[in-house]
């Protein structure tokens, strides 16, 4: 019997074929904590009386959630991270470097066949590089920092097969939102979500990452995509291990399969206050929009900023529009290609690379009654820092059209 992508990666680590439901212990290739989770990780690590970090080159801290800090309390937690990183030789990406899930692949910490854990739920993003990658909590992370290993339940796999190609106004985010609407917020709980099909093979790395990023919004443990030429092109020169092409076997057993015809997709919105409350943009009608956010580990990459700039070039936004590049590298590329200038001239506020408004800490907390269109991945009540605002999740293209017209708009 063949193996799914998740089973294959696990088998490469344990040297035998794993079966879903089984508990396995895997060595970890990259372990990341960010400023929302690292302080508790440090507290747990020290509480355990653990003496040293197993391998400082594989242990990574990122200061991205409230970055730069907006208050004294947060600053003290950031300092705690810097001190720990120095003491234990942990890799630290400090303020302004970017969002953890963009930095890990950019800086070469992620490679096909690797096992990546992050004290952040969207760690599933790295499955776009055929790495077994999942979110864990701070104390689990302390265990990894102490021992370099962790237990996992071998997941069943849900396959999402996207055939054909998407219409011009549809982005991979729309495909992800559509799938979440079909599967539900808990439809893939504990499962690996494997994206396959012609559309996925043709997609850029940026587009693929937007989809694997959203796997956790259906409850998934990881989102996975086979590694191919596109992956190789991105990773070459970044990773220090040989590149591997890894894909699922023919005849692999899937717990469930969702077939999606890319050609039939249209721009989608996830409506307040549940990610799986998904509707086509065309069904929403005239809803005035107060704020738009383009950024995050879902859609803050170059391709996303480019899509927004194409819409906003030479025009003015009608809603408060905040743009945050996912990383310093993204920011620089967008600067050099003129994207940033287009966005600034159109009235957007361009902020430092980081999570920003996504998690409600600072840089764009909405006010009560505000309607927000955001390219992020969660619209739970209070997510952006105000429980009385409404958040719609959209593709960067849809978000840019909403910014342009000051109301919910179907992109052309």
The yes or no reply on residue 291 touching another protein (CB under 8 A) is no
The yes or no reply on residue 136 touching another protein (CB under 8 A) is yes
Two tokens, residue 326: 């996912």
Q: If we measure between CA atoms, which residue out of 13, 42, 40 comes closest to residue 25?
A: 13
Stretch of residues binding ligand SF4 (CB under 6 A), selected from 18-26, 98-106, 263-271, 329-337? 98-106
For the bound state, the minimum distance from the C-beta of residue 298 to another protein, rounded and expressed in Å, comes to: 14
Cβ atoms of 243 and 250 within 8 Å: the answer is: no
Q: Which of residues 342-361 bind ligand SF4 (CB under 6 A)?
A: 355, 358-359
**Euclidean distance between CA atoms 374 and 324, whole angstroms:** 12
Q: Which does 296 bind (CB under 5 to 8 A by kind): ligand SF4, another protein, none?
A: ligand SF4
The yes or no reply on residue 277 touching another protein (CB under 8 A) is no
| Cross-strand pairs, 223 | 193
Smaller CB separation from another protein, 43 or 253: 43
How many other CB atoms sit within 10 Å of the CB of residue 303?
18
The yes or no reply on residue 374 touching ligand SF4 (CB under 6 A) is no
Q: Which does 4 bind (CB under 5 to 8 A by kind): another protein, ligand SF4, none?
A: none
Smaller CB separation from another protein, 18 or 105: 18
Smaller CB separation from another protein, 170 or 188: 188
Cβ atoms of 277 and 305 within 8 Å: the answer is: no
- Looking up tokens 């904590």 gives 33
Q: How far is CA 85 from the centre of its chain?
A: 24
**Euclidean distance between CA atoms 115 and 30, whole angstroms:** 7
Q: Which of residues 191-250 bind another protein (CB under 8 A)?
A: 219, 221
Round the CA-based radius of gyration of the chain to a whole number and report it: 20
Q: Which of residues 40-69 bind another protein (CB under 8 A)?
A: 40, 43-44, 47-50, 65-66
The yes or no reply on residue 156 touching ligand SF4 (CB under 6 A) is no
Q: Which of 98, 105, 113, 135 binds another protein (CB under 8 A)?
A: 135
Residue 190, Cβ density class (10 Å: 0-12 exposed, 13-18 middle, ≥19 buried): middle
For the bound state, the minimum distance from the C-beta of residue 404 to ligand SF4, rounded and expressed in Å, comes to: 23
Smaller CB separation from ligand SF4, 141 or 355: 355
- Start-to-end CA span in the chain (Å): 46
Smaller CB separation from another protein, 18 or 267: 18
**Euclidean distance between CA atoms 79 and 334, whole angstroms:** 30
Residues 59-88, mask of contacts with ligand SF4 (x by CB under 6 A): ------x-----------------------
**Euclidean distance between CA atoms 126 and 122, whole angstroms:** 9
- Looking up tokens 């504990």 gives 190
Q: Which does 377 bind (CB under 5 to 8 A by kind): ligand SF4, another protein, none?
A: ligand SF4
């Amino acid at each position: 019997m063949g193996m799914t992508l998740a089973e294959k990666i696990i088998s490469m680590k344990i040297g035998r074929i794993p079966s879903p439901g089984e508990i396995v212990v895997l060595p970890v290739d990259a372990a990341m904590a960010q400023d929302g989770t690292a302080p508790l990780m440090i507290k747990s690590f020290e509480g355990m009386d653990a003496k040293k970090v197993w391998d400082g080159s594989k242990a990574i801290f990122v200061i991205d959630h409230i970055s730069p800090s907006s208050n004294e309390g947060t600053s003290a937690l950031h300092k705690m991270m810097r001190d720990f990183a120095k003491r234990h030789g942990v890799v630290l990406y400090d303020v302004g470097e970017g969002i953890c899930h963009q930095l890990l692949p950019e800086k070469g910490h992620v490679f096909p066949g690797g096992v990546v854990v992050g004290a952040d739920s969207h760690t599933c993003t790295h499955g776009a590089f055929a790495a077994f990658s999942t979110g864990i909590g701070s104390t689990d992370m302390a265990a990894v920092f102490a021992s370099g290993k962790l237990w996992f339940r071998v997941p069943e796999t849900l396959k999402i097969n996207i055939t054909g190609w998407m219409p011009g106004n549809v982005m991979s985010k729309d495909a992800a939102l559509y799938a979440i609407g079909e599967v539900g917020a808990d439809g893939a709980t504990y499962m690996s979500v494997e994206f396959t099909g012609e559309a996925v093979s043709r997609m850029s790395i940026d587009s693929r990452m937007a989809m694997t990023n959203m796997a956790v919004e259906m409850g998934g443990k990881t989102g996975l995509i086979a590694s191919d030429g596109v992956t190789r092109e991105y990773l070459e020169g970044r990773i220090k291990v040989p590149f591997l092409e890894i894909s699922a076997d023919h005849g692999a057993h899937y717990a469930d399969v969702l077939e999606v015809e890319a050609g039939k997709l249209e721009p989608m919105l996830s409506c307040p206050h549940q990610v799986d409350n998904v509707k086509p943009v065309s069904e929403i009608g005239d809803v005035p929009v107060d704020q738009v956010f383009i950024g995050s580990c879902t859609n803050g990459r170059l391709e996303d900023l480019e899509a927004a700039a194409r819409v906003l070039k030479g025009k003015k936004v009608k809603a408060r529009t905040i743009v945050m590049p996912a990383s310093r590298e993204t920011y620089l590329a967008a600067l050099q290609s003129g994207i940033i200038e287009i966005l600034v001239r159109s009235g957007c506020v361009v902020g430092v690379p980081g999570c920003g408004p996504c998690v409600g800490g600072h840089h764009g907390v909405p006010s009560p009654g505000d309607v927000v269109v955001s390219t992020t991945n969660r619209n739970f009540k209070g997510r952006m820092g105000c429980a009385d605002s409404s958040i719609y999740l959209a593709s960067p293209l849809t978000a840019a059209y909403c910014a342009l017209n000051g109301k919910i708009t179907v992109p052309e």
